[in-house]
Amino acid sequence: MEILTNTSLAGYNTFGIDVQAARLVHYDSVEELQSLLWQREREGDTMPLLHIGGGSNLLFMGDVAATVLHSRIKDIVVTADEGDNVYVRVGAGVTWDAWVQYAIDSGWHGLENLSGIPGEVGAAAVQNIGAYGAEAKDAIIYVDTVNLQSAEVRHFAAGELDYGYRTSRFKTDLRGRYAVTYVHFRLSHSFKPQLGYGGLGSTLRERGIADYDLTPQALRQLVIEIRNSKLPDPAQLGNAGSFFKNPVVERDVYSRLAADYPTLPHYDAGEGRVKIPAAWLIEQAGWKGQSLGPAAVHDRQALVLVNRGGATGADIAALSRRITDDVRTRFGIDIEPEVNFI
């Protein structure tokens, strides 16, 4: 366990916002986390707790007067191998993209479309990360946690977590109550590529690559290539990837908009609802490539807000509010941040 006091969190959020944490604790096992929680109880420590992952979905609004917890649990263990399915327990502190590569190298499939997403495995289970028609929930079967008040271990089946579009119970009624320690995945020995979303299939056809010639590693590299063409590297330009969720509206709302905007892109969301790309709404509202002080909208992907240098959380939040106000005024649609404001 490593305990740091009055330390910068600039390296623990991909926006690069330089705020201070009263205390930062890196723990390497479930037992270390439990020991810390029991010690807090014995000493009557009432400082709030904040658990973070890689900080790829956080916007710090100021210094953090809390004990910030960060998992360094990084073991990967096969718990069962039955027929076409393999079951793997992965430590919450494992970097997500390293886990995807590890799975592919091991001949386990189902995560290829989630390549290149920043962050850690534990946070992926909280956020239900997704891209190119796939979501983390598609492969998650259990999530192991520690109760941050009682230090008790609790195992949640995926069905208990109300997984939805970029959300789970860890972001609603369970928010701040549990630390994710391990995530259990069910993957397949068979490679069944999903190519119907985000231009994956059309890009392959343009390159003359037949579906049956596609390898898991080639699909991974294609996903990363497309992501990199649209999204800036946080090491070069502070950002949290997609800042806004794509709004899902009733079909009559979509029909009204489509009458005025015949080229409006959309996706069937089921149950009479339609998903509309937030990036299109933001671009139509005139914000793509625009800035508000040191905070800006990326010039290649309107979903991405960036720190051009020296931006505070308040700067990014102010830009976010201006964008949502303008989209609401023009289209009558509310777009919501995907990023968590701390």
Positions marked active-site: 166, 242, 338
Q: 180: Cβ–Cβ under 8 A, 6 or more apart, which residues?
A: 51, 71, 92, 122, 123, 125, 126, 143, 144, 145, 170
- From the number of C-beta atoms within 10 Å of its C-beta (0-12, 13-18, 19+), residue 33 rates as buried
Angstrom distance (rounded) from CA 217 to CA 115: 10
Q: 235: Cβ–Cβ under 8 A, 6 or more apart, which residues?
A: none
Helix (H, G, I), strand (E, B) or coil at 7: strand
For residue 37 the two structure tokens come to 């929680």
Angstrom distance (rounded) from CA 32 to CA 37: 9
Angstrom distance (rounded) from CA 135 to CA 113: 9
Angstrom distance (rounded) from CA 322 to CA 240: 18
Phi–psi pair at 258, nearest 5 degrees = -65, -30
Q: Is 24 in contact with 47 (CB distance < 8 Å)?
A: no
Q: Is 146 in contact with 179 (CB distance < 8 Å)?
A: yes
Q: 223: Cβ–Cβ under 8 A, 6 or more apart, which residues?
A: 112, 113, 114, 115, 116, 131, 132, 200
